Amino acid sequence: MSQKSSDNGASLSQNGTSAYKFTKEQLAEIEVLKTKYPEVQAVTLPVLWMAQDTFGHVDPEVQRLVAQTLDLPESHVHGVAEFYTQYFKEPKGKHVLDVCTCLSCHLCGGMDILGYLENKLGIKAGETTPDGQFTLQEAECLGACGYAPMMQITNDVYVNHLTPEKVDRVLDQLASGQTPDFESIPMPLVSTTSNNKAAGGSDE
Amino acid sequence: MAEIVIDGITYSFDGKPKLLDFILSKDKDVPFFCYHPSMSAPANCRMCMVKVGQYVKNRETGDYELDDQGERQIRWFPKLQTSCNMDMMDDMIVHTHETDDLVKRAHKDTLEMILINHPLDCPICDQAGECPLQIQTYKYGPEGSRFEVKKQHKPKHVQLGPRVTLDAERCINCTRCTRFTDEISQSHQLTITRRGDKNHPTTAPGTEFDDPYSMNTIDLCPVGALTSTDFRFKARVWEMNQTPGLDITNGKGVNVDLWTRDNVVLRITPRHNPHVNEYWMTDKGRDAIHLYNEERLSTPAIRLHPKDISLVMSSWDNAYQTTQEIVESTDPKQILVLGSPYASVEENGAWMQFSEAILKQLPSYTTHIEKGSGDGFLLVDDQAPNTHGCELLGLKKRTKAAFKKAVAEAKVILSLHDDYIERGWLSEEEIKGKTWIYFGTNHTQMAKAATLTIPITCAVEHTASYINVDQRIQRTYPAKETKYTNRRLDLEMSEGRLDRFGTKFDHWVNEDHKVDCKPLWEIVGDLSLLWGHTLSYRHGRDVLDALGSKIPALEGVTYQAMDDQRGLLLTLSETQEASS
Ligand code: SF4
Ligand code: SF4
Ligand code: FES
Ligand code: FES
């Protein structure tokens, strides 16, 4: 009874053939994935990741490929892709900068960092630089409130305690093909205990 | 038998009913939005909160533990529970808002939360007047809102598909619409996109919501988010009059409600009947409004000369006399009388009696089956609403070839309803030179080709019964007045607000919406008088009674019984079955 009219999808190629294809190896991997979950619907997430890693994004046509590969309704894959901001529903720059502007970061100057990046890159949040290097986005809380303000780079590395200087350094590193340094940040709890110790020591 | 105490009253129950369903069935109220009895319960609107607990029993002895006062101890669930997805268990205690202030408070807060981004444009919202959100807010909502910031904006008037328009700002994300396409129509066309305060239903990119059942989501939607593209802004709910009826666009016999204002059918919605259509109907069935309102045959019309391109208005008397003249001047062998599966049992019955008494022949009929158009749900192959009715009456069934041959041999044809030309069974060429008297409701191609057209009432203008593909006989009620009926006098008709308070001197009442047509049984009664017979039927009931004494299967079949049992299942005899 499913009577889907997909013929009016201007952005989609006709007769169901997609410009995007999974390789044989990927298809085999998908088959393995399917055995790991009780229902095939659950495989949508890893396959979307696989697609994004391969094609750089999961635009409607990629979503369609995923749906067809898993034999799921297109609407389901679309809903899942739209739900998670980490899936890119359109082609993005090489590096995607997710600047957190949620409460804690906002209070610690997240907006200023966003503004600084906008000026520096000459684009607004949500846009991509003309050379395709950087996409700038506002993000909701990324769970690193303790190190606010912060940003995440292309769904991967977190850069914390942002300052304009640090932003400059990170952009340079990214432009020259390096990943920003990993910073180990001590948990606040740890430093409190050591302070207490120090205080205890002076008591002696 | 298990027992449950709800607001201090003990009820016993069997099985594992859902708590909300059970409470509602006891004529008590619990507000809810996302729950629907025929779909899964995801419990996402959080409106149906109740307080639930369980009597504590001693594990060893199985006795109830008592507190200091000797009352049974209750172990309450740590938080309020949504009743829609709660399975009832023995020894449960439930407090609804009637007895618990915390539950009351939960309702208030949930509504305040749901309304945070709600546009509150009830004055221009189609749903107003039949909006669960509006009703629950009146009953259980907070006095005001603490939310003073700008509301979130979302897409407005999105054309989700050819028949459904979305206003995402009004959506409360109950997912009833997406569950409908997943679980009921199974087209899987809808999904919820994005999240938080930005989410709303949508289709996959490049596809449209053209499910043949898409408009059911409009009825399901507890707010004015999904509206009918056709009906949007046409009428306020409280101005309309609601009359039960049947969907006559195919043989399924879906139960519907007809919403009229000033004798125009403005929309058709499904009426619950567990034996036929549950809560649903096809989109095609809703299109019947055009059939009922537009292009209606009104006042008999006649072709004065065979070469004339069109028919001219005539009068009832003239039409009757012309019919008599034509019939009397023709050899009865050259007259063909055609019944129709598109007409009701009563119409075909009266037609048959007239034909047998005066024209001395049994009317024949042809079925209109389109193989492959059924889907196992509410679309069926049989395009006509009363094929089994014709069968039961014993009308002579003809194949297409036999029908064409009979038409070719006849000089005068009296036919009912069917548009043989549109169906491609006859060409205008083939009926040239024949005298065709057409008893119909609309300006069909058949009507345009006929010699004489006599307008008869349609399914929304009379009381008549139809036998569906599953052999269930069900009846219609008059929803629209004709020139000769009057809702204030006809106790079978209901009156809407405008019907009651409007007069023909108001601008909202228009006499033109009443069609100049008569029930077929009245017409054949009047006609038979010309031959000195008296087949006088004033009401469909008279015909049904008369048929009941002749046809065993219709014995004891009354409108009352059909109403009481949501239609009656008939047992058609073996021979009739075999011929279907
Ligand atoms: S959906 Fe209901 S509450 Fe919302 S604007 Fe429409 S009528 Fe009012
Ligand atoms: S559009 Fe209506 S039915 Fe669909 S999720 Fe929103 S409120 Fe529920
Ligand atoms: S608010 Fe920025 S990481 Fe939580
Ligand atoms: S009706 Fe129970 S949560 Fe919506």
Q: Give tens-digit pLDDT for B14-24.
A: 999 999 999 99
Query: What is the total residue count of chain B?
Result: 580
Share of chain B above pLDDT 70, in %: 99
Report how far apart, in Å, the C-alpha atoms of B494 and of each of B325, B392, B481, B499 are.
Answer: 40, 31, 11, 9
The single-letter code of the amino acid at B47 is M
Residue B187 has pLDDT above 70, yes or no: yes
Burial (CB < 10 A; 0-12, 13-18, 19+), residue B260, is buried
CA–CA min distance B196, chain A (Å): 9
* pLDDT value at residue A190: 54
At residue A18's C-alpha, the angle toward residues A15 and A24, to 5°, is 125
Q: Is B373 in the A-facing interface, judged by CB distances under 8 Å?
A: no
Q: Identify whether residues B107 and B188 lie together within a single domain.
A: no
CB-CB under 8 Å, B186 with A60: no
B554 and B540 share a domain?
A: yes
pLDDT value, residue A203: 41
Given a cut of 70, whether residue B224 has pLDDT beyond it is yes
Predicted local confidence at residue A62, as pLDDT: 97
Question: Which residue in this structure is represented by tokens 């909160």?
Answer: B49
Half-sphere exposure of A109 (CA within 13 A, CB side): 10
In the predicted structure, residue B450 carries a pLDDT above the cut 80: yes
Chain B residue at shortest CA distance from A67 = B204
Q: What is the CA radius of gyration of chain B?
A: 29
CATH of the domain at B180: 3.30.70.20
* Rounded distance between C-alpha atoms, residue B503 and residue B491, angstroms: 19
> Is B545 within the bounds of a domain?
yes
Cβ(B278)–Cβ(B254) below 8 Å: no
Q: Is residue B294 part of a domain?
A: no
Q: Identify the pLDDT of residue A17.
A: 57
Whether residues B557 and B411 fall in one domain: yes
pLDDT over 60 at B348, yes or no = yes
- pLDDT for the residue A184: 77
- The mean pLDDT value for B160-179 works out to 97
Inside any domain, residue B331: yes
Q: How many residues comprise chain A?
A: 204
- Range 422-461 of B in CB contact (< 8 A) with A: none
B520 vs B306 pLDDT, higher one: B520
A-B contacts at Cβ under 8 angstroms: 75
Mean pLDDT, chain B, integer = 94
Quick one: which ligand is closest to B226's CA? 2
What's the mean pLDDT in A139-154? 93
- H or E, element range at B228: strand B226-228
> Could you read off the pLDDT of B38-59 as tens digits, one per residue?
999 999 999 999 999 999 999 9
Q: Are residues B123 and B91 in the same domain?
A: no
The answer to whether residues B45 and B135 touch, using CB atoms and an 8 Å cutoff, is: no
Structural domain boundaries enclosing B338: 301-461+517-579
Structure tokens at A120: 């520096």
Nearest to B365 by CA among B384, B380, B346: B384
Q: Are the Cβ atoms of A1 and B212 closer than 8 angstroms?
A: yes
Q: Tell me whether residue B435 is in a domain.
A: yes
Is B139 within the bounds of a domain?
yes
**CATH number of the CATH domain containing B560:** 3.40.50.740
Average pLDDT over every residue of B217-234: 97
Give the list of residues 6+ apart from residue B370 with CB closer than 8 angstroms, or none: B381, B383
Distance A109 CA to ligand 3 centre (A): 11
Domain A95-175 has CATH 3.40.30.10: yes
pLDDT digits (tens, 9 = 90+) for B170-185: 999 999 999 999 999 9
Closest CA to B246 of B274, B269, B223, B279: B269
CA-based torsion, A68, A5, B370, B252: positive or negative: positive
Structure tokens at A123: 């684009």
CA distance B168 to B177: 13
In terms of C-beta density within 10 A (0-12 exposed, 13-18 middle, 19 or more buried), how is residue B564 classed? exposed
pLDDT reported for residue B307: 86
Q: In chain B, pLDDT over 90 holds for what percent of residues?
A: 90
Q: Domain check: are B36 and B90 in the same one?
A: yes
Task: Say if residues B62 and B123 touch (Cβ distance below 8 Å).
Answer: no
The pair of three-digit structure tokens given for residue B35, joined into one six-digit string:
């729950």
Query: Does residue B214 share a domain with residue B106?
Result: no
B482 DSSP assignment: B
Cβ atoms of A116 and A130 within 8 Å: the answer is no
To the nearest 10 degrees (0 to 180), the angle between helices A44-55 and A24-36 is 160
Residue with tokens 């949007």: B232
Q: Is the CB of A111 under 6 A from ligand 3?
A: no
pLDDT score of B359 more than 80? yes
**pTM (two decimals):** 0.90
- Mean of pLDDT values over B408-437: 95
For residue A100, give the ligand 3 atom closest to its CA. 2
**What burial letters (b/e) apply to A72-89, b meaning 16+ CB within 10 Å?**
bbbbbbbbbbbbeeebbb
CATH code 1.10.10 region(s) in chain A? 4-83
Which of the pair, B97 or B488, is modelled with greater confidence?
Answer: B97
Domain count, chain B: 3
Tens digit of each residue's pLDDT (9 = 90 or more) over B235-264? 999 999 999 999 999 999 999 999 999 999
- Residue A204 in this model has a pLDDT that exceeds 60: no
List, in sequence order, the alpha helices (H) in A122-203. Answer: 164-175, 188-203
**In the predicted model, is pLDDT for residue B293 greater than 90?**
yes
The answer to whether A67 and A73 have CB atoms below 8 angstroms apart is yes
Tell whether B310 and B365 lie within a shared domain.
yes
Ramachandran region, residue A29 (left: φ > 0; alpha: ψ -120 to 50; beta: rest):
alpha
Strands B241-246 and B226-228: unpaired
| Residue B489: alpha-carbon gap to chain centroid | 25
Q: Are residues B380 and B529 in the same domain?
A: yes
Ligand nearest to the CA of B192: 2
Report yes or no: B534 and B528 within 8 Å, Cβ to Cβ. Answer: yes
Check whether A94 has a pLDDT greater than 70. yes
| Mean pLDDT calculated for residue range B554-575 | 88
- Where a domain ends, among B228, B246, B279? B228
Domain boundary (B198, B228, B258) is at B228
> Rounded to whole angstroms, what are the CA distances from A156 to A23, A96, A160, A180, A187?
25, 10, 13, 11, 21
Closest Cα in chain B to A74: B204
Class of domain A4-83: mainly alpha
Neighbouring C-alpha atoms within 13 Å toward the C-beta of B355:
23
Residues B103-121: pLDDT tens digits? 999 999 999 999 999 998 9
Q: B554: helix, coil or strand?
A: helix
Whether pLDDT at A168 is above 70? yes
> The dihedral of CA B495, B497, B500, B505: what is its sign?
negative
User: Under an 8 Å CB criterion, which residues of A touch B?
Assistant: 1-6, 8-12, 60, 63-64, 67, 73-79, 82-83
Q: Across residues B453-481, what is the average pLDDT? A: 97
Do residues B431 and B407 lie in contact, with contact meaning Cβ atoms separated by under 8 Å? Answer: yes
Residue A120 CB neighbour total at 10 angstroms: 14
**ipTM of model:** 0.87
Task: Give contacts of B 198-237 with A, CB under 8 A.
Answer: 202-208, 210-212
- Centroid of ligand 4 to alpha carbon of B81 (angstroms): 10
Q: Report if residue B415 sits inside a domain.
A: yes
Q: At what angle do helices A164-175 and A110-121 cross, to 10 degrees?
A: 50
Task: Give the CATH number for residue B85.
Answer: 3.10.20.740
Q: Closest partner residue to B203 among A2, A75, A83, by Cβ? A: A75
Residue B331 has a pLDDT of 94
Start-end ranges of CATH 3.40.30.10 in chain A?
Answer: 95-175
Which residues in chain A have their CB less than 8 angstroms from residue B178's CB?
Answer: 75
Atom of ligand 4 nearest to the CA of B43: 3
Give ∠ CA A186-A189-A192 in degrees, rounded to 5. Answer: 100
Same domain flag for B213 and B185: yes
Residue B252 tokens read as 């399924």
> Ligand 3 centroid vs A144 CA: distance in angstroms?
5
Task: Among B112, B137, B161, identify where a domain stops.
Answer: B112
- CA B312 remoteness from chain centre: 35
Q: Name residue B280's amino acid.
A: W
pLDDT level of residue B578 (50, 70, 90 thresholds): very low
Mean pLDDT, residues B562-574 taken together = 87
Q: What is the pLDDT of residue A11?
A: 41
SS3 A60: helix
| Of residues A191 and B76, more confidently modeled | B76
What is the band of B531 on the pLDDT scale with cuts at 50, 70, 90? very high
For chain A, the C-alpha Rg in angstroms (whole number) is 22
Residues B218 and B324 both lie in one domain: no
Phi, psi of B316 (to 5 degrees): -60, -45
B24 C-beta closer than 6 A to ligand 4: no
Q: What is the pLDDT of residue B573?
A: 62
Q: Look at B536 and B193; give whichever has higher pLDDT.
A: B193
Report CA B549 to chain centroid distance, whole Å: 30
Residue B517 amino acid letter: C
- Contact residues, B window 169-198, toward A, CB-based 8 Å cutoff: 178, 181, 185-195
**Residues B206, B145 share a domain:** yes
Which residues are CB-contacts of B404 (< 8 A; sequence separation ≥ 6)?
B425, B426, B430
User: Is pLDDT above 90 for A183?
Assistant: no
Residue A189 pLDDT level (bands cut at 50, 70, 90) = low
Task: Provide the pLDDT for residue B272.
Answer: 97
How close is the Cα of B123 to the center of ligand 2, in Å? 20
What SS3 state is found at B480? coil
